[in-house]
Amino acid sequence: MPGLYIGLMSGTSMDGIDAVLADLGTTPRLLHHAHQPFSPQLRATLLALNEPGNDELHRAALAANALALGYATVVHTLLTQSQLTAGEVTAIGCHGQTVRHHPESGYTLQLVNGALLAELAGIRVVCDFRSRDVAAGGEGAPLVPAFHRAVFGHPQQSRAVINIGGIANITSLPAQGDVTGFDCGPGNMLMDGWIMKHQGVAYDAGGAWAAQGTAIPELLDRLLAHEFFDRPPPKSTGRDLFNLKNLEAVLAGDERPVDVQTTLCELTATAITRALNVYCADAREVYLCGGGARNDALRKRLAALLPDRRVAVTDELGIAAESVEAAAFAWLAQRTLAGEPGNLPQVTGARGLRVLGAIYPA
């Protein structure tokens, strides 16, 4: 179903909403991008919902409504930018906000009130993309490798695409053979949490703070000893495994905060490098996307750890790093409406291809 689609993404970094307007004809084109930060209150509410607490059902329902209001606002921003009416957009693909991810228990939870968003935006909404893959025995993540194949694949050149959001995930795009992908560990999430705790800012802009410290080898070893890193794919993760509480449990207590930040940057770079070396050995080109692609310190460490590969940003392939995931969910919404599968079983571990998502008519 060709046409104009809006993709909405708010990831595990919980910094806000990225939105794109895309023309998904024969050759997908991004027409506009918008970003809307979360208010401190909403971010705190969403972070709290990642932990067990009092009156969770009520708080989660109110948060889903607040998210729908935020999503609708950024949709109207895109419509204003593009001078379009709601009726000219085929559908919205909305990821929602992950607050729990337990595929081993048979569920994953992305908050959004899809009915309210459709009502507010006046546009058909497709959301809850991950649950069907989990129902089919999969991890429900990552889902972006299918989109990466469609827009970044090359028939002669093996590539790897690294999405560095709150969590980092890898897509292997071999010139020949099946696409594979998996979460390889924390992306920005621990770095964001640590700098918020010590400097009161949402993220380490450009990796400037991390660049001032020295990595602590003993701490890095303790962090890399987590069983997740040695677990073979398919695998996915989130705040359930990687959070400040678990980080503080392995600290000696006398570390300089800046050195911990540098070590967390090294953790992300090392986990990505190890996964690439094991599962994407033939990929000579590595393209970064997500907010971590704008972290200069992280990008420099990856380039240093991967001297025989070219490390670049997806902007070079035509899609800005911060727009890739939102564009992927616009594309997945198109697949849903066309009755086409959106998952890759070899990536998620599902029993087969599945049409993903729930549809809320305008």
pLDDT in tens, 219-239: 999 999 999 999 999 999 999
Q: Determine the residue type at 330.
A: A
Instruction: For CA atoms 211, 217, 222, 227, give the dihedral sign.
Output: positive
Mean pLDDT of 21-45: 94
Give the per-residue pLDDT at 209: 98
Of 124, 112, 100, 145, the C-alpha closest to 243 is 100
The CA distance from 205 to 292, in Å, is 10
Give the per-residue pLDDT at 26: 82
Place of tokens 């000893």: 225
pLDDT in tens, 106-162: 999 999 999 999 999 999 999 999 999 999 999 999 999 999 999 999 999 999 999
Domains of the chain: 4-141+322-360 (3.30.420.40), 144-317 (3.30.420.40)
Q: Which helix (H) or strand (E) holds 8?
A: strand 4-9
Give the per-residue pLDDT at 27: 83
Give the per-residue pLDDT at 284: 96
Pairing between β-strand 16-23 and β-strand 29-37 as defined by DSSP bridges: antiparallel
Beta-carbon contacts of 110 under 8 Å, excluding residues fewer than 6 positions away, are 95, 96, 97, 98, 99, 127, 128, 129, 130
pLDDT over 90, % of the chain: 96
pLDDT in tens, 253-278: 999 999 999 999 999 999 999 999 99
Give the per-residue pLDDT at 283: 97
pLDDT at 340 over 80: yes
pLDDT in tens, 167-190: 999 999 999 999 999 999 999 999
The CA distance from 311 to 8, in Å, is 27
The CA distance from 326 to 8, in Å, is 5
Distant-in-sequence contacts of 39-42, Cβ < 8 A, 24+ apart: 42/66, 42/67, 42/70
pLDDT in tens, 277-319: 999 999 999 999 999 999 999 999 999 999 999 999 999 999 9
Rg for the chain (alpha carbons), in Å? 19
pLDDT at 28 over 90: no
Mean pLDDT of 242-256: 96
Mean pLDDT, the chain, integer = 96
Give the per-residue pLDDT at 12: 87
Of 99, 92, 37, 42, the C-alpha closest to 67 is 42
Report whether 169 contacts 184 (CB < 8 A).
yes
Helix (H, G, I), strand (E, B) or coil at 319: coil
Confidence of residue 1 (pLDDT cuts 50, 70, 90): low
Instruction: For CA atoms 72, 77, 80, 81, give the dihedral sign.
Output: negative
The CA distance from 64 to 62, in Å, is 5
The CA distance from 4 to 20, in Å, is 10
